[in-house]
Amino acid sequence: MIRKTRLIRLLVLLIVLIGLSSYLSLFLGVTTIRPLEAIREWSSGDLSKETLVLTTLRLPRLVLGLILGANLAVAGALMQAVTRNPLASPQVFGVNAGASLFVILALLLFPALGTANLVYFAFFGAMIGGLLVFSFASVRGMTSLKLALVGMAIHLLLTSLTKGLILFNDRITNVLYWLSGSISDSGWLEVRLIVPWSIIGLILAFSLAKSLAIFQLGQDVAVGLGQNITRIRMLAAVAVVLLAGVTVAVAGAIGFIGLMVPHIVRRLVGEDYRYVLPVSALCGGLLLTSADVLARFIAYPYESPVGIVTALLGAPFFLYLAKRQTKGVA
């Protein structure tokens, strides 16, 4: 178990890093903003173009990054806990790809549909993607590596279908940037949309923390201690669908945060999910906001989708974990 002093130091460090990342996110970009000048203008009510960029674009973008990063990291931690599979994440298990496919289908079938209603299609698609992976992976016995390979196959299949629909329909070709994972065009409307669903998903996830900690001792031990394994898995699945679905509906398929963050956090705090989940939420927010800042400068003065940055970080990490699995180390 992690010592209290070490946990406090870790939390302080994370808060400082999140503060630094937030500062960079707010004031760096194509338009450079001076903090003191922005505060003075905001106080006086006489807003310049730069300050309007800060309040209407940069600030909601920062809030989205923190919340969506937390959503993805917690969803990944839940999936790794209930499957006891270190390769589990919303992307690897087809959840993100399923949500993306159904969002695109909704845009094709109902062009006038608002973002608030797209969320429900994303939820359904996330559930379908996950069910497909588990159905195929359970044939002739399920292993961690088999689950990951089937998950990647389903992910690639659903992603190919999604891109095919986009390429052959001129009405929605402009969503290719969104599909790569981006929060650059989001504002306060998207923030208001994600907050209720994210709160429900995160509260549900945190309510399972104690049960998940016991679950890590082994299924037989958990049952012996009075845990309802089926109930835990069902509630965790609902939380994953809520957290991953609302993220995809607003920001597209941002990959690998749910894979990387829980691994790093478990190295820092151990296997007790009463600590893993909240620390994962903080680390996920930190990672996504930092990646978003980096995405602004990769092809400066043009912005790249943040999903490209997380993929560049996450793909080698996934290969490393898969290699450990094949060697029987993980």
Question: Which one, of 95, 33, 81, lies nearest residue 59 by Cα?
Answer: 33
Mean pLDDT across 224-248: 89
Pairwise pLDDT comparison (85 vs 81), residue with the higher score? 81
Residue with tokens 């049960």: 211
Q: Taking 60 as the threshold, does the pLDDT of residue 307 lie above it?
A: yes
DSSP label at residue 172: G
Question: Which one, of 240, 317, 301, 276, lies nearest residue 1 by Cα?
Answer: 276
* Residue type present at position 48: S
What pTM was computed for the model? 0.89
Contact 67, 194 (CB under 8 A): yes
**Which pLDDT does position 172 carry in this prediction?**
66
Q: 330 pLDDT band (50/70/90 cuts)? A: very low
* Residue type present at position 176: L
Q: 193 pLDDT band (50/70/90 cuts)? A: very high
CATH architecture of 64-326: Orthogonal Bundle (1.10)
Contact 247, 64 (CB under 8 A): no
Q: Which of 49-53, 219-223, 305-309, 325-329 has the lowest mean pLDDT?
A: 325-329
Segment 3-22, tens digit of pLDDT: 788 899 999 999 999 999 99
Mean pLDDT across 288-299: 91
**Which pLDDT does position 325 carry in this prediction?**
64
Q: Taking 50 as the threshold, does the pLDDT of residue 224 lie above it?
A: yes
Q: Taking 50 as the threshold, does the pLDDT of residue 47 lie above it?
A: yes
Q: Which two tokens stand for residue 3?
A: 């010592």
> Prior bond to 301 cis, omega within 30?
yes
Residue with tokens 């599979």: 85
Residue with tokens 């993220």: 247
Q: Taking 80 as the threshold, does the pLDDT of residue 229 lie above it?
A: yes
Q: 70 pLDDT band (50/70/90 cuts)? A: very high
User: Where do the structural domains in the chain lie, given as residue ranges?
Assistant: 64-326
Segment 125-163, tens digit of pLDDT: 999 998 898 888 878 776 666 777 888 899 899 989 988
Q: Which two tokens stand for residue 145?
A: 């590596």
| Percent of the chain topping pLDDT 90 | 42
Contact 70, 254 (CB under 8 A): no
Q: Taking 80 as the threshold, does the pLDDT of residue 326 lie above it?
A: no
Contact 60, 190 (CB under 8 A): yes
Tell me the CA distances in angstroms from 227 to 211, 233, 259, one per residue in order.
Answer: 7, 11, 26
Tell me the CA distances in angstroms from 143 to 25, 83, 108, 134, one per residue in order.
Answer: 41, 10, 37, 11
Q: Taking 90 as the threshold, does the pLDDT of residue 206 lie above it?
A: yes
Question: Which one, of 246, 172, 251, 205, lies nearest residue 76 by Cα?
Answer: 205
- In the chain, DSSP finds a helix count (H) and a strand count (E) of 15, 0
